[in-house]
Amino acid sequence: ATLANISQELPTPKQDEIKVRNFIGGQWYEPSSNNFFDNFNPSTGKVLCQIPDSGAADVDLAVKAAKDAFPAWSSLTPHQRAAHIYKLADLVEKNLSTMATFESLDQGKTLTMATNIDISRTAINFRFFADLVIGDLTSVSVTGAYPKAYPGPDGKPAFGQALSYVNRTPVGVAGLISPWNLPLYLLTWKIAPCIATGNTCVCKPSEFTSVTAMMLTKLIKQAGIPDGVVNMVFGLGATAGNALVTHPDVPLVSFTGGTATGKAIASATAPMFKHTSLELGGKNPALIFADSNLDECIPSIARSSFLNQGEICLCNSRIYVQKPIFDEFVSRFKEFVITKVTPGDPFSPASYYGPLVSKPHFEKVQSYVQLAREEGCNVEFCVDRALNTNVLDVSENGALALEGLEGGYFMSPTVITNVSQKSRLVQEEIFGPVVCILPFETEEEGIQLANDIQYGLAATVWSVDQSRLRRVASQIQAGNLWCNCWMVRHLEMPFGGFKASGLGTEGGRYSIDFFTKKQAIYLG
């Protein structure tokens, strides 16, 4: 690998070419293969940047840098580490508008979403975990002596008294792998607890959204975080990602992404006894009871279906509506979506969502719409050409051609009814602006349909009956339950999926637990 002579400045949107580099031991490197691949602006389909095609040699260099940095970083006090992390949070906020611009250019999300959610939350992630370790890791828990001692061979009680405490220490080098839907937000949800607790890390962001992670490397340097504490290797999952999760000097792996990838990672890391946390896919139900307040429910369900192009693991995509209000719900929901949920240029404040992240994903989402047509479902593209005069064409699979953005990967908000519970449309994660609406009769049937799936990440339940909400919420097999609301997030709450949606729990002290090893020490 050669040391690249690159500027310390953040890129600007006017720059013609962004060449992403690996960040290893505080320096920027080209990949040892010397190969880069193109990544595209999803609004135009034009090349946005070049991503290093890194491999095992680059990962090895990064792991070595992280391992070398570990002794000094882990021996700082939590306060000293937190001071560095607060500086980084301040720098993220200072650069919020540039970073949000790039998150939007690279991912397709609206600038509003990138500004108000992704990059703002990045700064919050760092502050939250820095605060938490100051309050948490300095405490030592002391438990009493074992009440009944066994007699020793001499007949006298032995080992009866001991001061016992938990020695909690960082583990070492963590491999952090993140997806493309909330790029910097999800990556820093891992980096923050990882380094706050004294570990060092090698990160592998998604190959579809690497730009803001590279920008973060510049801020890490500016914040004075010691070289090697955070390293970033860019490239493909099958090569760079796989080299990271199977590296013998990486005892911790935290992964967020698809269920199939999670399975592959679990089978690679299990024989190596690595601590592995997996946050995986979802196909989240909304259960809407006949007594719901539809004035509040419909806007919330439209948001939870289409925010960020439906590309949030917590979005709902199976909407079950109790029979007495099924027709009313469907027609009011479609009307609301047609008038309020406008896909378009992510830089226009009028757009509710932007293009899908990549061409392969755009094609995948359309293939599900094609399937719906083949299965004879009712498919409605909720786009009114009179209201949206920039729409040049709506294809038979819901793709939108927009004036001035003809090469972009835009999809209509798509509502599918008359679909079977057994259909792949209802059982598989589509991860786009496509929802299925199905009827149910009784509470039992609603719960049964919600649970009739391999996934268990999140659900939302709507009713004005509080006791029903409590009863139903606890019977739904999912890690996150929102009742009469959606995506209210308190970072101290546990976050994780049931069934094929994941293994392990993140959030607050659960993240601290994952990134530390606990030793029970008894002082006799």
Which residues contact ligand NAD (rule: CB under 6 A)? 177-181, 186, 204, 206-207, 236-238, 241-242, 245, 256-258, 261, 264-265, 279-282, 313, 429, 431, 457, 497, 502
Cβ proximity to ligand NAD: between 431 and 486 the closer is 431
Give residue 390's identity as a one-letter amino acid code.
N
Is 103 in the active site?
Answer: no
Q: How far is the CB of 293 from ligand NAD (least distance, A)?
A: 29
Q: How far is the CB of 334 from ligand NAD (least distance, A)?
A: 25
Q: How far is the CB of 459 from ligand NAD (least distance, A)?
A: 14
Residue 467, classified by CB atoms within 10 Å of its CB into exposed (0-12), middle (13-18) or buried (19+), is: exposed
In angstroms, the CA 425 to CA 417 distance is 11
What is the β-pairing status of strands 498-499 and 480-483? unpaired
* Cβ proximity of 474 and 457 under 8 Å: no
Q: How far is the CB of 468 from ligand NAD (least distance, A)?
A: 27
The H or E element that residue 460 is part of is: strand 458-462
Q: Which two tokens stand for residue 515?
A: 């990134």
Q: How far is the CB of 433 from ligand NAD (least distance, A)?
A: 15
Measured CA distances, 446 to 225, 273, 294, 320 (Å):
51, 40, 18, 7
Cβ proximity to ligand NAD: between 186 and 341 the closer is 186
Cβ proximity to ligand NAD: between 223 and 240 the closer is 240
Cβ proximity to ligand NAD: between 193 and 502 the closer is 502
Cβ proximity to ligand NAD: between 245 and 383 the closer is 245
Q: Which two tokens stand for residue 462?
A: 């709507």
* Cβ proximity of 479 and 457 under 8 Å: yes
* Cβ proximity of 276 and 190 under 8 Å: no
Q: Which two tokens stand for residue 87?
A: 């500086």
Map tokens 């690998």 to a residue.
1
Q: How far is the CB of 238 from ligand NAD (least distance, A)?
A: 5
Residue 254, classified by CB atoms within 10 Å of its CB into exposed (0-12), middle (13-18) or buried (19+), is: buried
Q: Determine the straight-line distance between the first and last CA of the chain, rounded to whole angstroms.
A: 53
Measured CA distances, 342 to 191, 278, 353 (Å):
34, 33, 7
Residue nearest to ligand NAD (CB): 237
Q: How far is the CB of 136 from ligand NAD (least distance, A)?
A: 23
In angstroms, the CA 495 to CA 451 distance is 19
Measured CA distances, 181 to 208, 272, 360, 383, 432 (Å):
9, 29, 14, 24, 11
Cβ proximity to ligand NAD: between 354 and 439 the closer is 354
Catalytic residue from among 30, 279, 311, 429: 279
Map tokens 């792996």 to a residue.
253
Cβ proximity to ligand NAD: between 82 and 265 the closer is 265
Taking CB atoms within 8 Å and a gap of at least 24, the contacts of 330-333 are 330/415, 330/417, 330/437, 332/294, 332/298, 333/298, 333/301, 333/302, 333/415, 333/437
Q: In sequence order, what are the beta bridge partners of 343?
A: 353
Cβ proximity to ligand NAD: between 316 and 388 the closer is 316
Known catalytic residues are 279
